[in-house]
Amino acid sequence: MNQQQTTKATPGTGAGGPTTLYRYYDTAGALLYVGITEHPLARADSHANASTWWPKVATARFEQFPTRDEASAAEREAIRVERPLHNNLRYPLPGPKGPVGRPVVGKPINLRLGPDLQARVDAAALPGEKRAATIRRLLEKALESE
């Protein structure tokens, strides 16, 4: 991440204390993820350790809300309108759904990896990353370099 912008929302009423709505973008300006938190730096660390899309983050924007309720409403609207690439479990997007409630983006495929290729994929996995996520990340990286 190399840029951060903060704006203040209009004060209002609702449950919870001050809450930050954040957006993460890639180098091309594509919106990767939208979320809310009361602790932006700790949440960024959490994403850095657990989110397969994190290495693509180049820019972050933060918007402060006086209450969690207001931030949550703004988050739902941002996800609905802006359609970030990597969050759609909490507030599902319309359309056909896959096995875990995510919109179906393309036709799922089954493939078998030989032992050599399986070992190479496992060696490329990030800590805690599932094999399917590793394969997806490697394919995206290979396609970006074309």
pTM for the full model? 0.55
Domains delineated in the chain? 3-82 (3.40.1440), 115-144 (no CATH)
Note the pLDDT tens digit of each residue in 70-105.
Answer: 999 999 889 888 888 887 655 555 555 444 444 444
Secondary structure (DSSP) of the chain? --EEEEEEPPP---SSS-EEEEEEE-TT--EEEEEEES-HHHHHHHHHHH-TTGGG--EEEEEEESSHHHHHHHHHHHHHHH--SS--SSSPPSS-B-TTSPBP-S--------HHHHHHHHHHPPTT--HHHHHHHHHHHHHHT-
